[in-house]
Amino acid sequence: MTLKGVPKSSYSPGEKVYYYCKPGHYQLLFHSTSTYCEENSSWHPIPEGCSRKECTTPQVLNGGILDPNHTLYIGFQFDKEFHFFCDEGYYLRGEKILTCKRSGDKVYWNYDLPKCEKIFCQPPGKIKNGKHTNSWRDIFEYNELVTYSCDPSNGPEEYSLVGDSKLICSGPSTWSTDPPECKVVKCEYPVLENGRLVSGIKEKFYYQAVVLFECLKGFYLHGSNPVFCGENSTWEPEMPTCIKGLKPTRSTKPPVSRYPGYPNPSEFPLYEDFKELDPGIIAVIILTILVGIAVICTCLYKCLRRNKKG
């Protein structure tokens, strides 16, 4: 509020002064905009009689509005910022953040009010030598899923599906990932000098085939174990090698399961870690376990005898 007229240096008891609302404000109903000087030479308390004007209340169907300052809701007053959001399955068309502005005595939103529109996707991409489910449809709704598969091969080798087989409509005209590929993926027989295959032995090795190695006596294995047949018809990660001599302390390296395209999220135990354990060490471990069991049994037996005597 602003005082009307020119303020005086002093006022006598009973004198009244009046206020008016500043631009962009309005007088509150049942609130006074005047005060008077009381007999005890103090002003009669006056509450704030004017409030900020508000922008038009937005209607956000399938969405809502947040006050980023987490203040008590007092309407859409000017100089306040508001964040708009949509419910799941809808997206915001327009500006996400709007501010109620003032120009003179008028208030307005700085942008057009946004809308929440339903999410739809166009059909996902077609792939060579393969297809996806519901390929006859022209439009897909939010969270709908399509599954890709490969066609039978006319040649001696079958097609492998490389990439994600299931795609989900996750945003407006947006699928969760790119379409996969259908192609022949075949790796050569894995030959390890001074070593041999111990798991995954087959005649042919297709996409994501996993093999495990061990080295011959007197050699230790260096590199990744297991390896798998990758999308480029190569063994991934790089084939390990067998090095002559005693195995040094193994350095920490990321498991092969973190390698892109690895077929199984579980990590294989390293075969050579078990194979190359010294027989003496194994005997010591077993003996230690047996001694521990014997000590525990003896203690339990003595405790039981004492309880019986008691």
CATH architecture type of domain 186-275: Ribbon (2.10)
**Integer Rg of the chain from CA:** 39
Identify the pLDDT of residue 123: 95
Identify the pLDDT of residue 296: 84
Digit-by-digit pLDDT tens for the chain (310 residues) are: 888 888 888 888 888 888 888 888 888 877 778 888 888 888 887 777 888 888 988 888 999 888 877 654 557 888 888 999 999 999 999 999 999 998 888 999 999 999 999 999 999 999 999 999 999 999 999 999 999 999 998 888 899 999 999 999 999 999 999 999 999 999 999 999 999 999 888 889 999 999 999 999 999 999 998 999 999 999 999 999 999 988 776 554 555 665 666 665 444 444 444 444 455 566 667 777 887 887 788 877 777 777 666 5
Identify the pLDDT of residue 153: 87
| Short-list 236, 227, 222, 240, CA closest to 200 | 227
pLDDT tens-place string over residues 212-237? 999 999 999 999 989 999 999 999 99
Could you tell me the CA-to-CA distances from 306 to 49, 69, 221, 300, 302 in Å, in that order? 88, 71, 56, 10, 6
Residue 269: DSSP 8-state: P
Identify the pLDDT of residue 260: 63
Domain ranges of the chain: 1-52, 63-118, 121-183, 186-275
Identify the pLDDT of residue 246: 84
Identify the pLDDT of residue 258: 59
CATH architecture type of domain 121-183: Ribbon (2.10)
Domain range 1-52, its CATH number among 3.40.50.1370, 2.10.70.10, 2.40.50.100, 3.40.50.300: 2.10.70.10
pLDDT tens-place string over residues 261-310? 666 544 444 444 444 445 556 666 777 788 788 778 887 777 777 766 65
pTM value is 0.63
Identify the pLDDT of residue 279: 57
Identify the pLDDT of residue 143: 95
CATH architecture type of domain 63-118: Ribbon (2.10)
Identify the pLDDT of residue 150: 95
Write the CB contacts of 170 (distance below 8 Å, at least 6 apart in sequence). Answer: 142, 143, 176
Is there a common fold for 63-118 and 121-183?
Answer: yes
